[in-house]
Structure 1
Amino acid sequence: MKIPLFPLDVVLFPGAPLPLHIFEERYREMFRRCMAEQIDFGVVRAQEDGLAVVGCTASIGRVMHRYEDGRFDVMCQGERRFEIELLDDTHAYLQAEVDFLPDDGPEATRAEREQCAALHFEAIELARLELPMPHLDLDKPIAFSLAAALPADLDFKQQLLDMRSDASRTRKLQEFYEVLLPQLRTSSPIRKVQGNGRVM
Structure 2
Amino acid sequence: MLPRPLSQYATNPVAYNQEHSSSASAPGDRVSSLIALFPLEVVLFPGTPLPLHIFEPRYKEMIGECLAHGSTFGVIRALEQGVSDVGCTAEIVTVTKEYPDGRLDIVTEGRKRFEVLHLNQERSFLRAEVLLIEDEPGIPAKEETARAVQLHSEILTMAGAIQDLSAADQAVLSFYLAGSLPLDLDFKQKLLALRGETQRIAALTQYLEAVLPKLRRSAHAREKAGGNGHAR
Q: Fold conserved (TM > 0.5)?
A: yes
Identical amino acids, percent of aligned pairs:
43
Structure 1: stretches of 5+ with no match in the other structure? 191-200
Q: Deviations over 1:106-148 (max 9, x none)?
A: 221222211110111112223xx24451424585431000000
1:169-184 alignment, distance < 5 Å: 169-184=200-215
- Once superposed, what is the RMSD of the aligned Cα atoms? 1.8
Equivalent in the alignment of 1:133? 163
Give CA-to-partner distance per residue, 1:11-40, whole Å, 9 cap, x none: 000000010000011111111111111110
Q: Which residue of 1 aligns with 2:195?
A: 164
* 2:176 aligned to which of 145, 150, 155: 145
Correspondence for 1:56: 88
Give the Å deviation of 1:49: 2.0
Structure 1 partner of 2:41: 9
Distance in 2 separating the partners of 1:7 and 1:159: 17
Name the structure 1 match of 2:186: 155
The structure that is helix-richer by fraction is 2
Q: Which residue of 1 aligns with 2:147?
A: 115
What is aligned with 2:71?
39
- Secondary structure in structure 2 of the residue aligned to 1:121: helix
The question of whether the paired residues in 1 share the 8 Å contact of 2:153 and 2:162 is answered with no
SS at match of 2:47: coil
Describe the shift of the 1:138–1:17 C-alpha distance in structure 2 as closer, same or farther (beyond 3 A). Answer: closer
Q: Which residue of 1 aligns with 2:18?
A: none
TM-score normalised to structure 2 length: 0.76
Larger radius of gyration: 2
Do the aligned partners of residues 180 and 98 (structure 1) sit closer, same or farther apart at CA in structure 2, a change above 3 Å counting? Answer: same
TM-score normalised according to structure 1 size: 0.88
State the partner residue of 1:75: 107
Count of paired positions? 188
Cα pair 2:156 2:162 within 8 Å, conserved:
no
Structure 2 gaps of 5+ residues are: 1-32, 222-232
